[in-house]
Amino acid sequence: MRVDAGLFVDGVPGALRAAADCLAAAAGERTGPYSGASPERLAKVAAGIDPFPEEGAGLDAALAGLGRLSLRHAVDPAHPSCAAHLHCQPLAAAVAADALAGAANQSLDSWDQGPVATHLEQRLVAGLAARVGWDPAVAGGVVTSGGTQSNLMGLLLARDATAGRSGRDVAADGLGPDAGRYRIVCSELAHFSVARSATLLGLGSRAVQPLGVDGDRRLRPEELDRALDRMDAAGQVPMALVATAGTTDFGSIDPLPALAGRARERGLWLHVDAAWGGGLLFSDRHRDLLAGIEAADSVAVDFHKLLWQPAGCGAFLVRDQGLLAPLEVTVPTSTPTRWPARRTAGRCRIWSAGRWPPPAASPPSRRCSASRRSAGGPSVSWSTAPLRWPSRPRPRSTPSPAWP
Ligand SMILES: Cc1ncc(COP(=O)(O)O)c(C=O)c1O
């Protein structure tokens, strides 16, 4: 195959300039949060497009046609009248950094396919863990595609830990006869990915017991007590409590300290779905709304909601990296890897939103190990504020990061 100059990475600067022109032209055409085109009209337009033509049209034609079309009929999360959904307008720096991450195209399924990206992921996870209130040298996690995947991972670990207590290795032997008795408790306002996860995990969506909420739309701890008593009496095995920190439709935060106490007393895995509310981890004014999150076994945080990143960008965190063991996979020809494999190095854009490394005037730093999986990794100075919720004015000019 002949490869023309400009077809691959060497053509990226020109391609990005063309994409930027396309974006500017489309922005000039917009008059509101949505074009108003009906589903029927868009279906008709889409039906006229050949997804795999014999001859490619070339970038300019593709941008002028499909590119403009996609932007013209996209919903505009930057428009003031587009506030009803959780997906945010992305930061410009994040979009640019996403393009860089795409150009480098690192894969995190093994160290050799994304060497520096692997370490950056670990630093990102450690920084988030510190914000949750965990010891970053002990906690672990991975970057995910978002809350759905993070919730699935939390419930998978909860399921395997429950089965492990009765001596069953689900990863090796599959679900045992007890699995039919496993139950997941959460509020009736928990995200639907909890029920979907139960289905994917072979437990069935009926394993999820949605509980009533109070006038502020927060799970009632007394309801939880009653439900757990009922389950005990029925011989069911409560395996996880999912607390939501930021319900999808209302933003309500379940009473984390009270739920954490119950989870501890009953030996329940506590997963906090902070896909939406996780942005509060970076708030100077509202961080206390997440008090109690540090008692969780696992946490889901999304960057593509109130942390202003393009989708899909989330993180799944565990208080102790040893809890990730059921997800470890060793293949003979490669280095150890961890599900989810084949993830891109999108954390580059997360950092582009913050000051990194921190300027000398930053608040007192805390120490953590940069690389826990690579023995003997260097110790680094860790800013308590790589990203900031926009509650405080930020200095206008920040020094450029000095990457090694
Ligand atoms: C509370 C909550 N959890 C999980 C999710 C799923 O997140 P994602 O769309 O990133 O998979 C959402 C999405 O809106 C949510 O609001």
Query: Average pLDDT, stretch 159-175?
Result: 96
Q: Where are the domains of the chain?
A: 9-85, 104-352
What residues contact 112, with CB distance under 8 A and at least 6 apart?
334, 335
Fold classification of 104-352 is: Aspartate Aminotransferase; domain 2 (3.40.640)
Which backbone phi and psi does 368 adopt, to 5 degrees? -150, 165
Say yes or no to pLDDT of 332 above 90.
Answer: no
**In the prediction, which pLDDT does 81 show?**
86
Query: Beta strands 269-274 and 298-302: pairing type?
Result: parallel
**In the prediction, which pLDDT does 108 show?**
86
Ligand 1 centroid to Cα of residue 154, in Å, is 14
**In the prediction, which pLDDT does 380 show?**
24
Q: Considering the chain, what is the average pLDDT of its residues?
A: 85
Say yes or no to pLDDT of 164 above 90.
Answer: yes
DSSP single-letter state for residue 67: I
Amino acid occupying residue 377: G
Token couple for 309: 């990143």
Say yes or no to pLDDT of 85 above 80.
Answer: no
**In the prediction, which pLDDT does 5 show?**
65
Number of the ligand 1 atom closest to the C-alpha atom of 305: 10
Say yes or no to pLDDT of 315 above 60.
Answer: yes
Say yes or no to pLDDT of 359 above 70.
Answer: no
Share of the chain above pLDDT 90, in %: 73
Query: Average pLDDT, stretch 4-27?
Result: 91
Confidence at 82, pLDDT banded by 50, 70, 90? confident
- pTM listed for this prediction: 0.85
Number of the ligand 1 atom closest to the C-alpha atom of 314: 10
Q: Is the CB of 275 under 6 A from ligand 1?
A: yes
Query: Average pLDDT, stretch 4-10?
Result: 83
**In the prediction, which pLDDT does 143 show?**
95
Confidence at 360, pLDDT banded by 50, 70, 90? very low
**In the prediction, which pLDDT does 338 show?**
57
**In the prediction, which pLDDT does 399 show?**
39
Render the burial of 182-210: b for 16+ CB within 10 Å, e for the rest: bbbbbbebbbebbbbbbeebebeeebbbb
Indicate the helix (H) or strand (E) that contains 178.
none
Q: Atom 4, ligand 1: which residue's CA is nearest?
A: 147
**In the prediction, which pLDDT does 177 show?**
95
Q: Which of 75, 105, 124 is closest to 380 using CA atoms? A: 124
Q: Is the CB of 182 under 6 A from ligand 1?
A: no
Share of the chain above pLDDT 70, in %: 80
Say yes or no to pLDDT of 336 above 80.
Answer: no
**In the prediction, which pLDDT does 109 show?**
82
In 58-211, beta strands by DSSP E: 140-144, 182-187, 208-211
Say if residue 172 is exposed, middle or buried (CB neighbours under 10 Å; 0-12, 13-18, 19+).
exposed
Say yes or no to pLDDT of 34 above 70.
Answer: yes
**In the prediction, which pLDDT does 337 show?**
56
Say yes or no to pLDDT of 340 above 80.
Answer: no
Q: Which residue has the higher pLDDT, 378 or 401?
A: 401
Ligand 1 centroid to Cα of residue 249, in Å, is 11
Residues 373/267, Cβ–Cβ less than 8 Å = no
Enumerate helices (H) and strands (E) in the chain, giving the number of each.
12, 11
**In the prediction, which pLDDT does 353 show?**
57
Give tens-digit pLDDT for 178-207. 999 999 999 999 999 999 999 999 999 999
**In the prediction, which pLDDT does 1 show?**
45
**In the prediction, which pLDDT does 87 show?**
83
Give tens-digit pLDDT for 98-136. 999 999 999 988 889 999 999 999 999 999 999 999 999
Q: Is the CB of 248 under 6 A from ligand 1?
A: yes
**In the prediction, which pLDDT does 363 show?**
31
How far is it between the farthest Cα atoms of the chain?
70
By most ligand atoms within 8 Å of CB, the mutation choice from 144, 148, 196, 306 for ligand 1 is 148
